[in-house]
Amino acid sequence: MTTGKGSNEEEPGERVAKVIARAGLASRREAEAFIAAGRVTVNGAVITSPALNVTSEDSITVDGEPLPQRERTRLFLYHKPRGLVTTHSDPQGRPTIFAALPKNLPRLMSVGRLDMNTEGLLLLTNDGGLAGVLELPATGWLRRYRVRAHGRVQQARLDELRHGITVDGVRYGSIEAQLEREQGANLWLVFAMREGKNREVKNVLGHLGLAVNRLIRVSFGPFQLGDLPEGDVMEVRTRHLREQLGERVAALAGADFSGPITAPAPAQEPISIHRPQARAIGDREAQRPRPASKHGRHPARAALRAPRDDAEKLRAKKRSPKRHAAEAERLGEPELARREKRRRRFRRKKS
């Protein structure tokens, strides 16, 4: 293959930017920027145009380094806190989500972005091809938010958003908006759309006379924020990821579910960013108070006097009014009531 000759989609192989993205080194757009800057070589020759197809027989380097071995396609759910920007580096020096992530994760990129003061579910992946496909409005995945806004609006006016709306010359597609409840001078809404244009929620609601003061994304397509604690990240199991993507999306993304994992992270286990990792169960058991035999205490009585274990503390935390109020804001009172009902039914069955 010669790098001086143009390429088209009928030639064998794939576009070089797509190959770089699928290697997890950058998104496809970032890879095209690398090429334009002269940072990419193919078979020893610098290229400046992404209009080039390559195959597995071609040697590709970025900044003089060969492409890393392509990993299995992986997806992570991240509960983004407020105050972090969704970028690898920020010219203004603001804190970024990638600086806050655990160091044992692979190199990840975000599926779309959330504003600095928007919180909630953000999808992260090591596959630039998958990130690009999931960001497309054509994929049709619904993004659902809970919104707290200052002001008043009637449900009838929110229903009009289903037909789309134009704000300051920008056309926004169909939007599902439901008035949930009023809280003093504020109200809570459930807001859902499929396009996800820049600042869409704030611009549309601002046009209706509402000032958004809290925005929480609770779902992206089939993936839910659920009970994932703020600042934590959880990997989606490969089998579940394949099922949720479906054959069409997986094929468009060129997802690889059989490749190796070179930087493993515990699947389906929340990894705390702000808190140190919990001690092993054996360590906790060893540090529990033991009955003093010289006083003749019975082990069972000593256990009753011992501090509550971690599981009991967690249950007490879940029952606390502060946690209940936080969950009510994040999930909404109707959803929280449904979850409490399921928990009570489960406890009755166990007893």
Token digits for 293?
Answer: 């035999």
Residue 270 φ then ψ, to 5°: -60, 135
What is the value of pTM for the model shown? 0.67
Q: How crowded is residue 267: how many other Cβ atoms within 10 Å of its Cβ?
A: 14
**Higher per-residue confidence, 22 vs 279:** 22
Catalytic residue among 63, 115, 227, 283: 115
Mean pLDDT, residues 149-165: 94
Among the ranges 210-214, 252-256, 261-265, which has the highest mean pLDDT value? 210-214
Does the pLDDT value for residue 334 go beyond 50? yes
Does the pLDDT value for residue 138 go beyond 80? yes
Given pLDDT bands bounded at 50, 70 and 90, which one contains residue 193? very high
**For tokens 């009955």, what's the residue?**
291
Alpha-helix residue ranges (DSSP H) falling in 226-298: 238-253, 281-287
State residue 9's pLDDT score.
47
Condensed to tens digits (0 to 9), the pLDDT of residues 48-92 reads 888 899 988 888 999 988 887 778 999 999 999 999 999 888 888
Condensed to tens digits (0 to 9), the pLDDT of residues 9-59 reads 456 778 888 888 777 777 778 888 899 999 999 999 999 888 899 988 888
Percent of the chain with pLDDT over 70: 75
Alpha-helix residue ranges (DSSP H) falling in 74-182: 97-100, 128-135, 155-159
For this structure, is 127 an active site residue? no
